[in-house]
Amino acid sequence: MGKRKFAKKIFAMCVTAALCAGFAMPTSAVFNNLLRDVTGLTGRSEIFLLVSLDDGSVIFSQNEHTRTAPASLTKFITAAVTLEQLEDINELVTVHADDLAPVRGTAHADLRDGEQLSAESLIAAMLLHNANDAAQALAAHIAGSAEDFVPLMNDFAQRAGAENTNFANVHGLDEDNHYTTAYDLALMVRHALRRDFPGSAVLERISGSLRHTISESNLRGPRHLVNFNHISNRYRPHYFMPQSFAGKSGHTAAAGRCVIVAAQQAGFRYLAVVLQGQDGGSPVRNSAFIDARVLINWAFANIRMQQVAETDRAVAEIPVELARGTDHVQLMPAREVFAFVPQGVHAGNVLIEPIADTMPESLTAPVQAGQPVGQARILFAGVEFAQVDLIAAEDIALSSTQYMVQVARRVAGSLLFQIIMGLILLAAVGLAILLLLQRRNKRRRKQMRVLPRV
């Protein structure tokens, strides 16, 4: 790819970075108290996270902010960044020996120096077959070298809101300073699967498929790949999920068994991230696959989109000063709120609690119906899962009498009023003294007029 095209892509990424602010997710799981009801979890996966791809709601979580090696889940991000940069997924990529050397002896697609394949073929080899040589070749094609591609991955992480992630390579082999968290992976995958993200459809089509055929190259005949992610393999019934439409699996010594799975049913989409899984007894071994499937299937069976806040139901009240006929006003949600909640949860059994920092101590009449007052958090089992603005439920009229009394009190308590009254008092005292002196002088003059002559 030419430097000019590459520079344009970087500029476009910077311009759109602010759009990712809306992809932040709640930091705590709403339904962890229901994990006891989820049957089938292996107990052998140290880290997991289940979120709604539709609104980012966190359903279940365990150690989701713990840093860990991501293994080949890295390649999902490599693929996303590649698709963001590519002009055409059919453009030819030339493989170079220098790019193959660092990953020789690891998972590969048996690429050869000088071989030319389409970018799509290399993406498929990377996502389905964990091919580290394909990741290296794509990165060098985009940025000139795999090392120069890594900053693009870290930029992608930042734009997705992943604050606890640092990539050090493009393939996911264990390396110092190469880490992420389940929470950050969910943010990045959710960002990459947005409908308006370049290449999201390609990510879904390739990563969610069972097989892919790499077309004949200039050096080799066609190659047939089978997805290593058994969640997408109907011939692996212990792991297979027919609802899965995208994902990636991986394994290294530092990462354990790990997988990301995106699945859809009845119009609802969920994403499971499982890391630090282990192998168990045969034939069901990989705890990451098992736990991801169990979590998503539980959500399909038990989570519903339900109204949890109604605009005609008062949830709090606040004092109103100078009001006529009342001393308070009731508050209602400014809008209807819908959220993913367990079956049986509805507006009548969630707690809507005003947020103290957003609420005034009181209002002053007149108050208009619909007037913004503050905000409230919506809680289930003590955990916040949504917020809503609060508004006044009705008009509250001003009491003229109370208003005049308050005005009088304010005037009486003002410094200017006290100064004026002080001056008036001084003037009154001065006038009284003056009148007293005048009266005394008048008496003296009168006494002098009536004295007898000698």
The answer to whether position 454 is within a domain reads no
Number of domains in the chain: 3
Q: How confident is the model at residue 366 (pLDDT cuts 50, 70, 90)?
A: very high
The answer to whether position 319 is within a domain reads yes
Q: Are residues 248 and 189 in the same domain?
A: yes
| Residues 426-453, mean pLDDT to the nearest whole number | 74
The answer to whether position 259 is within a domain reads yes
Q: Are residues 76 and 120 in the same domain?
A: yes
Enclosing H/E stretch for 386:
strand 383-392
The answer to whether position 399 is within a domain reads no
- 134/125 Cα distance (integer angstroms): 6
Q: Are residues 139 and 216 in the same domain?
A: yes
Q: Are residues 258 and 386 in the same domain?
A: no
The answer to whether position 32 is within a domain reads yes
Could you tell me the pTM of the whole model?
0.77
- 16/214 Cα distance (integer angstroms): 33
Q: Are residues 193 and 115 in the same domain?
A: yes
Q: Are residues 95 and 194 in the same domain?
A: yes
The predicted structure's pLDDT at residue 215: 87
Q: Are residues 56 and 201 in the same domain?
A: yes
* Poorest-pLDDT segment among 115-119, 245-249, 414-418: 414-418
Of the three residues 252, 286, 302, the one that is the final residue of a domain is 302
| Residues 367-380, mean pLDDT to the nearest whole number | 93
- What single string gives the DSSP state of each residue in 123-165? HHHHHHH--HHHHHHHHHHHHSSHHHHHHHHHHHHHHTT-TT-
Burial 287-297 (b: 16+ CB within 10 A, else e): bbbbbbbbbbb
The domain spanning residue 194 has which CATH number? 3.40.710.10
The answer to whether position 400 is within a domain reads no
Q: Are residues 296 and 269 in the same domain?
A: yes
Of the three residues 269, 302, 335, the one that is the final residue of a domain is 302
Whether the per-residue pLDDT at 378 is higher than 60: the answer is yes
Q: Are residues 271 and 172 in the same domain?
A: yes
- 277/296 Cα distance (integer angstroms): 16
Q: Are residues 238 and 335 in the same domain?
A: no
Q: Are residues 157 and 33 in the same domain?
A: yes
The answer to whether position 445 is within a domain reads no
The answer to whether position 430 is within a domain reads yes
The domain spanning residue 345 has which CATH number? 2.60.410.10
- 174/196 Cα distance (integer angstroms): 32
- 205/199 Cα distance (integer angstroms): 10
The predicted structure's pLDDT at residue 407: 62
Q: Are residues 282 and 386 in the same domain?
A: no
Of residues 349 and 35, more confidence is placed in 35
- What single string gives the DSSP state of each residue in 228-257? S-GGG-TT-TTT--TTEEEEEEEEETTTEE
Of the three residues 270, 302, 334, the one that is the final residue of a domain is 302
Identity of the highest mean pLDDT range in 148-157, 305-314, 445-454 = 148-157
Write out pLDDT tens, residues 306-320: 888 999 999 999 999
Domain that holds residue 429: 410-437
Enclosing H/E stretch for 434:
helix 415-449
